[in-house]
Amino acid sequence: MDPTPRQLVQIGYNQPIQGKAPFAGYAFYYHNEPGFVRPDWTLRAAVAPVYVDLELAFRGLIAPQTDFAVGLAGGGFADNYAEIRSGVWRQEESFSGHAGEVNSSVYHLFNPLPDGATPTSLMEMPLQGVFRVGFRESIFDRNARTAPGFELPGDLPTGFVRAGLRWGGREPVMRPDVAVELSVWYQGQARFAAGDYGFADDRSVQPSAHQFWGRALVANNFTNTGHYLEMSLTAGAVLNADRLSAFRLGGTLPLGAEFPLMLPGYYFEELSAQRFLLADALLIQPLIGRWDLLGYGGTALVDYAPGLEQPGQWHSGVGGGLGWTSSNAAWQVMLGYAYGVDAIREEGRGAHNVGFLVQWDLRRRGSDSPSDSVRIQSMVRRLNASSWRGFNRLFQK
C-alpha cells in the first residue's frame, strides 16, 4: 500500500518524424488516498478518458505487516495490438482490443521497523512481496485499416497470477527525488480460448504464457548541483511467447506502463521480444532559471518473438531536449528529440522522433528544497509495494 497522498495529472506523447506508427501517448489522472473512508483503507485510481484502474487496499487485514487489496480495471483500447515488422506498421494486421479485469492482491513487508522508528539509511529500505491473482477478458475488434481477410483472435478470457519481490522501489512520478530498486517478478497466464488467427490461421494465441522479468534502478536528484541522474537495467524472458504475450520495447513514455521498456527514437512498442536485456539512462543538468538540459539513451539486446524477427539483435537510441519546472515544482514539462540508431526504416537504419511529457502535481505546496536526510527518510517511507500499473499495463498485453 502506498502511504503517500497523490493527485497527479500526467501526459505523454511521441511523434515519429518519418514513417507511420500507431498513436503513442497517454493522459490520465492518478489519485492515491490513504485513509479513504477508514484510517486503514487506501484507494488508488488511475483514470484515463476511456479507461480506469482502481484498487482498494486494507492495511493489516491478514496480519500486522500483510495487506490485502481488491482491484477493478477496464475500458477501451487497453489491449490494442499493432503489428510492426522491420520498422513497418502493418495496419492491415493490427486491431483494437478492449478489456475488463478483476483482481486481488496480497502485499507483505518482510523487514518492518520497530513501532515509532524512523528510517535513517538506504539499508532500511523495505523488502516487500507481492502476490496477485485475477481474471481479464480481452475483446478484439477491427479498426478502419484491418484487412477484410484477416481473422481476428477470438475474445480472450485469461486467468493470471503474479508474484514478485521488490527491495525499494520507484514512485509513480516523472522525476522522483531519489529511488533505488531491485526486483524480480513472475506472471503466468492461462488463456481459456486460445487458437489460430490471421491470414489463413498463420499465427496463434498460445494456451499459456510464463513471463519472468527483473529490474535494477537508481535515481537521485543532487541538491548541491541540481543535477538529476536515473539509470536502470531490465531483463525479461517469456515461455510460450506469441504476439500477445511478448515484451514490447520502444519509445520514450516513462509513465505508460509499470515497467516501461524505452528505446529513444523507436516507435512505441516497436520491437517484440521473447528475451531481452535493456539499459536506460537519463541525465538532467540545470541550464538557466527553471530550465534544464536533458540527455538520455538506451540500448537493448533482443531475441525476437516468433514471426517478428528482423536483421540485427542490438538496438540503441539517444536523445536530448529541454525541461522546465515551475517555482513550486507543481508543473514539470519535458520536450525532447530522439534518434533510433538501429531502427529500420525505408531509408535504411536510423529513425527520428519528437515528444513531450507533462506532470501537474495538484498537491504540491511551497518551493523549499528539503535536506538530504529528510529526502532519504521520505523516500524510504514512500517506497512501497503498491505495484502501480497505470492504465496501459505492459505485461498484460
pLDDT at 392: 40
Whether 396 has a pLDDT exceeding 50, the answer reads no
The per-residue pLDDT for range 181-217, each reduced to its tens digit, is 999 999 999 999 999 999 999 999 999 999 999 999 9
Largest CA distance in the chain: 65
Which residue type does 137 have? E
312 CB neighbour count, 10 Å cutoff: 9
What average pLDDT does this structure show over 164-171? Answer: 95
166 has pLDDT over 50: yes
Band of the pLDDT at 3, cuts 50, 70, 90? confident
Q: What is the pLDDT of residue 118?
A: 59
Higher pLDDT pick, 106 / 125: 106
Q: How far is CA 291 from CA 281, 294, 324, 366, in A?
A: 20, 10, 5, 19
Q: Which amino acid is at 319?
A: G
Segment 299-312 shows an average pLDDT of: 97
Q: How far apart are the C-alpha atoms of 267 and 173, rounded to whole Å?
A: 23
User: Do the beta carbons of residue 1 and residue 385 sit within 8 Å?
Assistant: yes
- How far apart, in Å, are the Cα atoms of 242 and each of 17, 26, 312, 323? 30, 25, 20, 38
| Per-residue confidence (pLDDT) for residue 282, from 0 to 100 | 98
Q: CA 298, 307, 99 angle in degrees (round to 5)?
A: 75
* CA–CA distance, 157 with 208 (Å, rounded to integer): 12
Position 366 pLDDT exceeds 90: no
Are the C-beta atoms of residues 189 and 160 closer than 8 Å to each other?
yes
pLDDT at 18: 86
Contact 362, 17 (CB under 8 A): no
Label the pairing between strands 195-197 and 178-191.
unpaired
CA angle 309, 314, 319 (to 5 degrees): 120
pLDDT confidence bin for 161, thresholds 50/70/90:
very high
Find how far residue 142's CA is from the centre of its chain.
Answer: 26
Using a pLDDT cut of 90, give the percent of the chain over it: 85
- What value does the mean pLDDT take over residues 13-39? 96
| Alpha carbon distance 44, 32 (integer Å) | 4
Structure-derived torsion over alpha carbons of residues 376, 377, 380, 383, reported in degrees to the nearest 10: -90
pLDDT value at residue 108: 97
Per-residue confidence (pLDDT) for residue 11, from 0 to 100: 98
Give residue 119's pLDDT.
Answer: 63
Q: All domains of the chain, ordered by start, with CATH?
A: 6-396 (2.40.160.50)
pLDDT beyond 80 at 377? no
3 state DSSP class of 350 = strand
Q: pLDDT tens-digit profile of 225-252?
A: 889 999 999 999 999 999 999 999 999 9
Closest CA to 71 of 7, 6, 132: 132
Q: Is the pLDDT of residue 393 over 60?
A: no
pLDDT band at 385 (very low <50, low <70, confident <90, very high): very low
Whether residue 125 contacts residue 113, with contact meaning beta carbons closer than 8 Å, is answered with no
Confidence category of residue 364, pLDDT binned at 50, 70, 90: confident
Predicted confidence (pLDDT) per residue in 114-144, tens digit = 765 656 677 788 899 999 999 999 999 999 9
Weakest mean pLDDT among 13-27, 62-76, 147-161, 374-388: 374-388
For residue 264, is pLDDT > 70? Answer: yes
* Distance of alpha carbon 179 from the chain centroid: 16
Q: Where are the alpha helices (DSSP H) in the chain?
A: 372-382
| Residue carrying the nine cell digits 524512523 | 118
